[in-house]
Amino acid sequence: MAATHVDEILESYARLYGERFGKPPRKSDLNPVLARTFLGICKDDVDLSKLVLRRWFESQDPAYAAQGFRLLTVFDARNRLIGTGELAPWGRDDWQEVSQRLCARLIRPRLEIVR
């Protein structure tokens, strides 16, 4: 994975954080290891990673404000976004519904997805 991809994620995170809070994030939040790990979870797809970040910062879910927008919490936020249906799961077609159900269980143990 190119360092430029990690830099793109960190720049996107810093920009979105600044737009939401009117100030830059803490320097400790601009962690390349976290960004690289996050990219890996997003299939090394920079656009998908940026989409997750954008949906996270644009979400009106009060849980995010309560938890904070530190880069370390993006992993939990990703699960919550998928579990609440604000973000579609990715991966093999046959695993997408399983992924959404798992994420929903992680955030709401009693939530049942009804189709």
Residue-level pLDDT at 93: 56
Q: Any idea which residue has 């990219």 for tokens?
A: 39
So what's the pLDDT on residue 14?
97
Please tell me the pTM assigned to this model.
0.77
The pLDDT tens digits along the chain (115 residues) read: 457 899 999 999 999 999 999 999 999 999 999 999 999 888 888 998 999 999 999 998 888 888 889 999 998 888 888 877 777 766 555 555 555 555 555 565 554 555 5
Residue ranges per domain, the chain?
A: 3-107
Give 92-115 as a DSSP string.
SHHHHHHHHHHHHHHH-TT-----
